Amino acid sequence: MSGYLVDDTRKVTTHRLIEMKRQGKKIAMLTSYDYTTAKIVDEAGMDIILVGDSASNVMAGNATTLPITVDQMIYHAASVVRGVTRALVVCDMPFGSYQVNPTEGVTNAIRIMQQTACDALKLEGGVEIIPTVKKILDAGIPVMGHLGLTPQSINKFGTYAVRAREEAEAEKLISDAHALQNVGCFALVLEKIPASLARRVASELTIPVIGIGAGGGVDGQVLVVADMLGMTKGFSPKFLRRYADLSTIMTDAIGQYITDVKSSDFPNADEEY
Ligand code: KIV
């Protein structure tokens, strides 16, 4: 394998992630939705690549994650898988694909696995989805849970504010986390909850807990690739660290191309056949 920025180029597995938690090694996770980006993210040494249903916002310009379909997630996930050799690829099950009943959930889960060749699926929710998670696990498909701010329920929440600040919601989240671990999930995402609560959940569970807006006391972190690279604008939650300003870099480069085309500078003699 060439081009990798890490020495250990072995395929990341769910077992290795649990081992990483046991050894106190932090887990890095980032979203990707297309082949080219996924290849770069993988070669940089990412542990987990999430084909998030945030593709609905980032790739399609929707206001929420709700409109994205199973077919569209399959397109994104299959593209990502073709670019990845090392990272564990997790695909989100989109809204409506697993909430109706466990049978429909496992049917969609099998379809996503067959048509994408991804490694695992992620589902949002706690005890209410346990029968579906169990059926998917029984089909041999690894499942990652997702609690806290679960964007597929945004219309019920009515706000993207921090979740589980109140004791009752925090207690439910803790029991949901244990239920997901007990049924057999290999990892759990906690989104936008108080750091102290996330730290407690991570210390109580043996499976890795990956946070987004959940502080540093968890076993790993996940961000949306377009956000951390500075491609998106007007979205600046406190938890988001921007590692680049790709929007400015791209705008400058595209502006230069327009200038070069219009001035007949491009293509020059070396750039023609
Ligand atoms: O869809 C997504 O990108 C996610 C992450 C924010 C965890 O679920």
Residues pairing with 209 in the sheet: 188
State the closest ligand 1 atom to the C-alpha of 191, by its place in the atom list counted from 1.
Answer: 7
User: What's the rounded Cα separation, in Å, for the pair 99 and 170?
Assistant: 23
Contact 33, 58 (CB under 8 A): yes
Helix (H/G/I), strand (E/B), else coil: 88: strand
Residue 1 pLDDT: 46
Atom of ligand 1 nearest to the CA of 223: 6
Whole-number pLDDT of residue 90: 99
Q: Work out the average pLDDT over 34-45.
A: 98
Q: Atom 8 of ligand 1 has which residue's CA nearest to it?
A: 52
The ligand 1 atom nearest the CA atom of 31: 3
pLDDT per position as a tens digit, 186-213 = 999 999 999 999 999 999 999 999 999 9
CA gap 111, 91 in Å, rounded: 12
- CA dist., res. 88 & res. 109, Å (int): 17
**Digit-coded pLDDT (tens) for 95-129:** 999 999 999 999 999 999 999 999 999 999 999 99
**Nearest alpha carbon, ligand 1 atom 1:** 52
Q: State yes or no: pLDDT of 43 exceeds 80.
A: yes
pLDDT digits (tens, 9 = 90+) for 52-110: 999 999 999 999 999 999 999 999 999 999 999 999 999 999 999 999 999 999 999 99
Arithmetic mean of pLDDT, 229-242: 94
Going by pLDDT thresholds of 50, 70 and 90, the confidence category of residue 233 is: confident
Say if residues 113 and 137 touch (Cβ distance below 8 Å). no
The neighbouring-strand residues paired with 27 are 220
| pLDDT score, position 6 | 86
pLDDT at 2 over 60: no
Whether ligand 1 lies within 6 angstroms of the CB of 53 is answered as yes
Check if 31 has its Cβ closer than 6 Å to any atom of ligand 1. yes
Ligand 1 close to Cβ of residue 181 (< 6 A) = no
CB of 73 sitting under 6 A from ligand 1: no
Cβ of 224 below 6 Å from ligand 1: yes
Instruction: Mark whether 191 is an active-site residue.
Output: yes
- Contact between 90 and 117 under an 8 Å Cβ cutoff? The reply is no
Cβ of 227 less than 6 Å from ligand 1? no
- Give the number of the atom of ligand 1 that is nearest the alpha carbon of residue 65: 1
- pTM for the structure as a whole: 0.97
pLDDT at 86: 98
How distant is the alpha carbon of residue 154 from its chain centre? Answer: 17
**Whole-angstrom distance, CA of residue 38 vs CA of residue 32:** 5
Query: Confidence band (pLDDT; 50, 70, 90) for 159?
Result: very high
Confidence of residue 5 (pLDDT cuts 50, 70, 90): confident
Among residues 19, 43, 191, 272, the one annotated as catalytic is 191
Average pLDDT, the chain: 97
245 C-beta neighbours (distance < 10 Å), count: 13
